[in-house]
Chain A
Amino acid sequence: MSALRFEPDDKYNAFLTVCKAPEGGNGKLSGIPVAVKDNISTQGIETTCASKILKGYIPPYDAHAVELVKAAGAAIAGKTNMDEFGMGTSTENSAFGPTLNPRDTGRVPGGSSGGSAAAVASGMVRMALGTDTGGSIRCPASFCGIVGLKPTYGRVSRYGLIAYANSLETIGPMAANVLDVSLLMSVIAGHDRHDATSQDRPYSHTPSADIKGTRIGIPQEYFGAGVDPAVAAVVKKAIGRLEELGAVTVPCSIPSMEYALAAYYVICTSEASSNLARFDGVRYGPAVEIKKSWHAAFQDARREGFGPEVRRRIMLGTFALSSGYYGKYYAKAQIARENIRKDFARLFADVDVLCGPTMPTIAFKLGEKSDPLSMYLSDILTVPVNLAGIPAISVPCGTVQDMPVGLQIMGRPFEDERVIDVAYAYEQGGQP
């Protein structure tokens, strides 16, 4: 074990906690500082989910992924900023101020893993752990011009990830290039008995740039209404490059995508309303006024401790699960989810991967999306992947107005290796 010096000049508010002298060890990640999103539990290091309600909470245990990263010799460099509990697409919903996009500090880094993306994009760390519930790794990777992988659901243990929407989310690797993403993935993937939804599917892959004959589906919905034509053009050009590298493209369609966003927001808010109920001011966060009755005190604690977006989602989810509404919302959302899964399965019977833009636009300006609904709409291209539980990667593929654009590559369940390969092929041979 050896202590590193880690004193970054954090101009972008990427870190909530900086570990100035992190311990490293021997292994695959020996001596590499790795930043960890603040919703992943780190023993002895404050973990707040960028929420006031968890201020001062120091977990007594490491998340399984953190344990693995440490065991591989990495040094935990610090905890990164995010949208509170992962609820957002810009990292503006942090109780501790927004993270700025290193490419243009007037713009958001994307979210919710904006701190991790900014820390990597600015070169403060070589790699970072993010989490992806509806695009939270891929969106900031796209906006900041780095690589981010949302692994297959069940491939990386969620144990220690402070749950926002259990059935949708996963921990995943973020780095400046595909090889580092692959390396970090090889450390964190695998079965964990503490996570009943985890699968025994370790990852030990050496990326290959040979994609000759790979069949790539191009869903028309990824280039339709709401997608900035300039972004679409950059991505189409990137797909053209993949064809030149030997891939075959096939036009296709995901009709169920129409319901994806609605289904996603019903499921994630429902699960969140239950997950976040434990934060009642008794065990975590600022002390509660005990002169009041318990019910009154915890209502105060929650009103003051949660930010407006978190409160909004808790209320939406509580409503969706209420008796008399469960069938109209939660149960219906599950049907839509099943249809999306089936649509993907149908497409993957014919093609190996699907390609499209990661985000419909480039990074927006700070404060630009003040209306929550327009913010939700920007998740349209990322949430279907979480609903289906499949792997997807975002890899930089050009710029619009000098801001990065991400190419999203989606694959069959447990074929994280293949999306990595396609991303690697593009990275190696993409820019002429």
Chain B
Amino acid sequence: MTGPEPETQVVVGLEVHCQLDTKSKLFCSCSTDYRNDGPNTHVCPICLGLPGTMPMVNKKVIEYAMKVAKALNCEIAEESEFARKNYFYPDLNKAYQITQYDKPLALGGYVEIEGDDGKERKIQLTRIHVEEDPGRLVYMGNAERGRYSLVDYNRAGIPLIEIVSEPEMRSPKEARKFLNKLRATLEYLGVFDSDKEGSLRVDANISIKGSERVEVKNITSYKGVEKALTFEVTRQKNLLRRGLKVDRETRHYLEARGITQSARSKEMENDYRYFPEPDLRPLRVKSWVKDIALPELPDARRERFVAQYGCSLNHARTLTGELKTANFFEAVVAKNKDSCTLAATWIADTLTGELNYRDMGIDGVDPVKFAGLIALLKAGTITDKSGVEVLRAMLDEQHKGETVETPQAIVKRLNLGKTAGDDGAIHAAIKEAISENPKAIEDYRAGKKGAMNFLVGQVMKKTRGRADPGELNKLMETALKSLE
């Protein structure tokens, strides 16, 4: 026996840690460009936390963080302060992380998303603060059973901002949208590179209204957030359905298995013993805000795409959702000034789909060649169906690392040019279709309308989509009439 479905309003809040894309680290002048180099090659006495060293604040980091705060409509604090978060962990070389505690750089602000109900909604932010990334542990073998682990301090001191939202998202999907919007904004600002491994980490708070809150830690991908939260919603709902209660606890997201797991014992819970960092002076930077210039942000660009190019709102949203896609679109329409909506459809729907299918990014796609494809479509040289084939050929070439041909060359090589009315090939195909499908001819004679469509489909197959559908219909009608 199960009772009635319990009330299941989901409440989600996120803490998003993003690496800021500065050239040097937060408290020293070591380069942040460590990903292609060996371990412990981008380190100095300061970021190694050697005894006697002191942090120096990288002004650029504060500027970048303030740019984000301004773009997200936050209030910059009159005075903010760094604090020490004390805990022991081998990747934490000073045994404390320099972060901000009760005096963060920025307060308030919001991110606007399209809610599940289709309406735009503001998700309020609590705060934004600046902190340093710890180093990284490399386990030799298994994390549980390995004999030892190694520490790489290249990442130690990389600047992070932590953006904390209020618990105002109502579903995993909204959380994903929040994150996408946030990422887009940071990318537009030029302060964040989402392609860099480990550049984003998320902790999520999730509860079913009326129940205890669960914190899910260690989510390191955009898709992971939605997956982890969906798992949690199901887990929590199941507990409630069985009349059990949800424990207030911290859980870890195991990316590979797509599940969350309780972070065991309470004895591992830390008292971080925060106190103000005595080696740094408080930050009084509020007056810098007025000098921070913001670029065009995703919402403004979306509105512009609608107004300037006549994009539909949905297309504009997709196109501006990632900086690279938006830039790609504008590069393509620069070459096809009279085909804006066509280009929008082909990029937002077709290209995006094909890229997702191949797990590719838009980076390598040549906007000039893509513009060539749009031009062929616009001129009616190829059908839509052929257009997709051309696009697939281009992407496959790119994927394999081959030289990507021009769309014109592909059309020629695969003989995808639209068949003209007097093309012998199309007449031959019609004849074939008629002689191979006597049953359809009977049906046609019996007045079944579907028969005609079936025959047209057969011809399309034979000509591999090159025939113009409208023209083919006429030719088929003539051919069938001539049979009578």
Interface with B: A74-82, A102-110, A232-240, A279-287, which one? A279-287
**How many angstroms from the CA of A318 to the CA of B48 in the assembled complex?**
23
Q: Which of B48, B52, B86 is within 8 Å of A161, CB to CB?
A: B52
**How many angstroms from the CA of A376 to the CA of B44 in the assembled complex?**
37
Main secondary structure of the interface of B (DSSP, over half): loop
Interface with B: A115-123, A320-328, A399-407, which one? A320-328
Min CB distance, B477 to chain A, in Å? Answer: 81
In the complex, chain B residues whose CB is within 8 Å of the CB of A278 = 49, 51, 93-95
Whether the Cβ atoms of A196 and B93 lie closer than 8 Å is: no
Whether the Cβ atoms of A284 and B275 lie closer than 8 Å is: no
- Chain B 188-220 residues near chain A, CB threshold 8 A: none
In the complex, chain A residues whose CB is within 8 Å of the CB of B94 = 277-278
Min CB distance, A40 to chain B, in Å? Answer: 8
Whether the Cβ atoms of B56 and A321 lie closer than 8 Å is: no
Query: Knowing A274-B84, A290-B148, A298-B88 touch, does A59 contact B275 (C-beta < 8 A)?
Result: no
Query: Knowing A193-B56, A278-B95, A321-B86 touch, does A166 contact B50 (C-beta < 8 A)?
Result: no
Answer whether residue A177 sits at the interface, using C-beta atoms and an 8 A cutoff: no
Q: Which A residue's beta carbon lies closest to that of B148?
A: A290
Query: Knowing A163-B52, A283-B93 touch, does A196 contact B279 (C-beta < 8 A)?
Result: yes
Min CB distance, B446 to chain A, in Å? Answer: 83
Interface size class of B (residues with CB under 8 A): 20 to 34
- Chain B 257-271 residues near chain A, CB threshold 8 A: 271
Whether the Cβ atoms of B52 and A277 lie closer than 8 Å is: no
**How many angstroms from the CA of A262 to the CA of B121 in the assembled complex?**
53
Min CB distance, A330 to chain B, in Å? Answer: 6
Whether the Cβ atoms of A277 and B88 lie closer than 8 Å is: yes
Q: Which A residue's beta carbon lies closest to that of B268?
A: A295
Chain A CB count within 10 A is highest, among B50, B51, B55, B273, for B51
Q: Which of B52, B55, B148, B151 is within 8 Å of A160, CB to CB?
A: B52
Whether the Cβ atoms of A59 and B51 lie closer than 8 Å is: yes
Whether the Cβ atoms of B273 and A274 lie closer than 8 Å is: yes
Min CB distance, B284 to chain A, in Å? Answer: 13
In the complex, chain A residues whose CB is within 8 Å of the CB of B52 = 40-41, 59, 63, 159-163
Q: Which B residue's beta carbon lies closest to that of A302?
A: B88
In the complex, chain A residues whose CB is within 8 Å of the CB of B86 = 273-274, 277, 321
Q: Which of B45, B54, B88, B93 is within 8 Å of A60, CB to CB?
A: B45
Q: Which of B45, B55, B93, B275 is within 8 Å of A321, CB to CB?
A: B275
Chain B CB count within 10 A is highest, among A159, A167, A323, for A159
Min CB distance, A400 to chain B, in Å? Answer: 37
Whether the Cβ atoms of B54 and A195 lie closer than 8 Å is: yes
Q: Which A residue's beta carbon lies closest to that of B281?
A: A196
Whether the Cβ atoms of A280 and B278 lie closer than 8 Å is: no
Q: Which of A40, A60, A294, A322 is within 8 Å of B90, CB to CB?
A: A294
Whether the Cβ atoms of A194 and B88 lie closer than 8 Å is: no
Answer whether residue A197 sits at the interface, using C-beta atoms and an 8 A cutoff: yes
In the complex, chain B residues whose CB is within 8 Å of the CB of A282 = 90, 151
Q: Which of A49, A194, A330 is within 8 Å of B54, CB to CB?
A: A194
Whether the Cβ atoms of B88 and A196 lie closer than 8 Å is: no
Query: Knowing A162-B52, A280-B95 touch, does A270 contact B280 (C-beta < 8 A)?
Result: no
Whether the Cβ atoms of B45 and A61 lie closer than 8 Å is: yes
Chain B CB count within 10 A is highest, among A40, A196, A295, A322, for A196
**How many angstroms from the CA of A166 to the CA of B278 in the assembled complex?**
6
Q: Which A residue's beta carbon lies closest to that of B94?
A: A278
Answer whether residue B53 sits at the interface, using C-beta atoms and an 8 A cutoff: yes
Query: Knowing A196-B56, A321-B86 touch, does A277 contact B95 (C-beta < 8 A)?
Result: yes
**How many angstroms from the CA of A165 to the CA of B45 in the assembled complex?**
20
Q: Which B residue's beta carbon lies closest to that of A157?
A: B54
In the complex, chain A residues whose CB is within 8 Å of the CB of B331 = none
- Chain A 256-295 residues near chain B, CB threshold 8 A: 270-271, 273-274, 277-278, 280, 282-284, 290, 294-295
Whether the Cβ atoms of A167 and B56 lie closer than 8 Å is: no
Answer whether residue A70 sits at the interface, using C-beta atoms and an 8 A cutoff: no
Min CB distance, A47 to chain B, in Å? Answer: 8
**How many angstroms from the CA of A274 to the CA of B275 in the assembled complex?**
9
Answer whether residue B96 sits at the interface, using C-beta atoms and an 8 A cutoff: yes
Query: Knowing A197-B279, A321-B275 touch, does A158 contact B54 (C-beta < 8 A)?
Result: yes
**How many angstroms from the CA of A290 to the CA of B86 in the assembled complex?**
24
Min CB distance, A187 to chain B, in Å? Answer: 19
Answer whether residue B57 sits at the interface, using C-beta atoms and an 8 A cutoff: yes
Min CB distance, A384 to chain B, in Å? Answer: 18
**How many angstroms from the CA of A280 to the CA of B87 in the assembled complex?**
12
**How many angstroms from the CA of A330 to the CA of B48 in the assembled complex?**
28
In the complex, chain A residues whose CB is within 8 Å of the CB of B278 = 165-167, 197, 271
Min CB distance, B81 to chain A, in Å? Answer: 12
- Chain B 309-339 residues near chain A, CB threshold 8 A: none
Answer whether residue A54 sits at the interface, using C-beta atoms and an 8 A cutoff: yes
In the complex, chain B residues whose CB is within 8 Å of the CB of A96 = none
- Chain B 69-108 residues near chain A, CB threshold 8 A: 84, 86, 88, 90, 93-96
In the complex, chain B residues whose CB is within 8 Å of the CB of A197 = 278-281
Per-position 1/0 for A306-347, Cβ under 8 A of B: 000000000000100111001000100000000000000000
**How many angstroms from the CA of A99 to the CA of B182 in the assembled complex?**
61
Answer whether residue A364 sits at the interface, using C-beta atoms and an 8 A cutoff: no
Answer whether residue A12 sits at the interface, using C-beta atoms and an 8 A cutoff: no
Answer whether residue A57 sits at the interface, using C-beta atoms and an 8 A cutoff: yes
Min CB distance, A275 to chain B, in Å? Answer: 9
**How many angstroms from the CA of A318 to the CA of B272 in the assembled complex?**
10
In the complex, chain B residues whose CB is within 8 Å of the CB of A159 = 52-54
Whether the Cβ atoms of A166 and B96 lie closer than 8 Å is: no
Whether the Cβ atoms of B56 and A61 lie closer than 8 Å is: no
In the complex, chain A residues whose CB is within 8 Å of the CB of B271 = 322-323
Q: Which B residue's beta carbon lies closest to that of A276?
A: B95
Min CB distance, A95 to chain B, in Å? Answer: 15
Chain A CB count within 10 A is highest, among B90, B96, B148, B275, for B275
Whether the Cβ atoms of B50 and A61 lie closer than 8 Å is: yes
Whether the Cβ atoms of A270 and B88 lie closer than 8 Å is: no
In the complex, chain B residues whose CB is within 8 Å of the CB of A49 = 51
Min CB distance, B89 to chain A, in Å? Answer: 9
**How many angstroms from the CA of A41 to the CA of B54 in the assembled complex?**
12
Min CB distance, B70 to chain A, in Å? Answer: 25
**How many angstroms from the CA of A193 to the CA of B88 in the assembled complex?**
29
Whether the Cβ atoms of B88 and A162 lie closer than 8 Å is: no
Q: Which A residue's beta carbon lies closest to that of B50?
A: A59
Min CB distance, A278 to chain B, in Å? Answer: 5
Whether the Cβ atoms of A295 and B88 lie closer than 8 Å is: yes
**How many angstroms from the CA of A60 to the CA of B48 in the assembled complex?**
11
In the complex, chain A residues whose CB is within 8 Å of the CB of B88 = 277, 280, 295, 298
Query: Knowing A197-B279, A277-B86, A290-B148 touch, does A318 contact B273 (C-beta < 8 A)?
Result: yes
In the complex, chain A residues whose CB is within 8 Å of the CB of B96 = 274, 277
**How many angstroms from the CA of A193 to the CA of B86 in the assembled complex?**
26
Chain B CB count within 10 A is highest, among A49, A195, A278, A321, for A278
Min CB distance, B157 to chain A, in Å? Answer: 14
Min CB distance, A194 to chain B, in Å? Answer: 6
Whether the Cβ atoms of B45 and A196 lie closer than 8 Å is: no
In the complex, chain A residues whose CB is within 8 Å of the CB of B55 = 196
Contacts A277-B95, A282-B90 known; list 16 others, CB within 8 Å: A41-B50, A54-B51, A59-B45, A60-B45, A61-B53, A159-B54, A165-B278, A166-B278, A197-B280, A197-B281, A273-B86, A274-B84, A274-B95, A278-B51, A318-B273, A321-B275
- Interchain residue pairs with CB less than 8 A apart (14): A41-B50, A41-B51, A41-B52, A47-B51, A61-B53, A163-B51, A196-B54, A197-B278, A274-B86, A274-B95, A277-B94, A280-B90, A318-B273, A322-B273
Residues of B at the A interface (CB closer than 8 Å) are: 45, 48-57, 84, 86, 88, 90, 93-96, 147-148, 151, 271, 273-275, 278-281
Closest 6 CB pairs of A and B: A277-B95, A166-B278, A321-B273, A167-B278, A162-B51, A160-B52
